[in-house]
Structure 1
């Protein structure tokens, strides 16, 4: 066993200190929000500086958030966008990537050039808005799903991954009479489970955090995703619908409610990541671009 030198020990110590510092500055903002959401409103307002623990203990903020009907509506809509949107995203991205990964596909080089072109240049918000309007999707749930059905970067990753699967497997299946659909469903997709898990994570987080398109395309509040409801509460300072449900009249109750709303909107997606994390590195490396 090689004994580490003084330089190695200094380097390791620096790494530990730097990574610990990075962990603290990354984790503390979320912990601050959690502590603030559990704090008594008056104690939170009086507190200054770093918050290491809840200032008092107060669960009324969470009770009011969960009583707010708009939070329930936002959750329901966001779950629809995440589940339905992610399924359609992954399916059509995989289907298009499969077509582009075929050896006998005509003009695929020029198609890839046009696809990559969209990563750098787009028509802009106004043409996209007019397109959504003319297609009759304005103020519908599909306006948040169809326009972003296939992400260019995810398409490139999946295409590269499919190309790495040995062609002999496909060839032997076709000799046995398998069609392209059978090859796609029975060979390509089962061999790409880690990559599909990563795509589910990418698209799922994208739908969960999406609010800009909803702000542009939606007017009906019954269709608002959770992040747009959160925006109204935090940025527009609209906590009246929630604080009116309170039995007390604490003027600072809105501050605790804001922090509780952030926690309620963030925790579900934090729970999802550990379930897919084991596939994350493998899936990204499988679909990595090769020189």
Structure 2
């Protein structure tokens, strides 16, 4: 990664970390080691939009995540957290960008519009925030214990995974299994870059201690098997973990002399956006070994 991109990676991290404060362009320019005049132009050259608009979209993204996945939070509180003085102005801005009012999005999100808005931004952000080179010294080999889980298997377009996550969250709430008490896992059956959308599979899981009843959400009992695993920690959105995952297969595995076990790659989600800033989300990636 070039020195310039490293400086703008720090800028993006600073923006993530300071969403609840005022926009301080001179301070961001200082992080990038630019004058504020050149900083604004360089930011726009990289991202295709100004820093204020970028930050506004991030605040609305966090608001949308809270609307969709944090049903206990009042819409008014989410509006204030997004920087709007009242619910009316928040509703107008949200509907202008996503075609739905906040209450409609909370009830039945249109994820296709969401992805059209944020996927290009995520791809650009990934050029700065993703791991370009794997630190092989950071890979550990552990003995993973057999772990019974409740599993909801998503099948279909990766863009519809959030709808399955909402169903799983509803099940977790009904069964008193919040992330604070029950470890959260995902099974990465398929590579979203190569799988046909209609064939894509993604497992949404949490650890469970006992049996549970059949349910309308489609959650079933499953097991993450015991065995040796290579593990590495990823910081940032899981969507940006693909470079780390590919480097595990491409760089670490051939040098290690290890062989893969017949079980998919899986991850444990340790902290989540929007509960923490996006770049501070933590995920452990497990590569099953013989």
* TM over 0.5, shorter chain: no
Structure with higher RCO (Cα < 8 A, 6+ apart): 1
Determine which structure has more spread, i.e. the larger CA radius of gyration: 1
Which TM class, normalised by the smaller chain length? under 0.3
Q: Which has the higher strand share?
A: 2
The structure carrying a bigger helix percent of its residues is: 1
Q: TM-score, normalised by structure 1?
A: 0.22
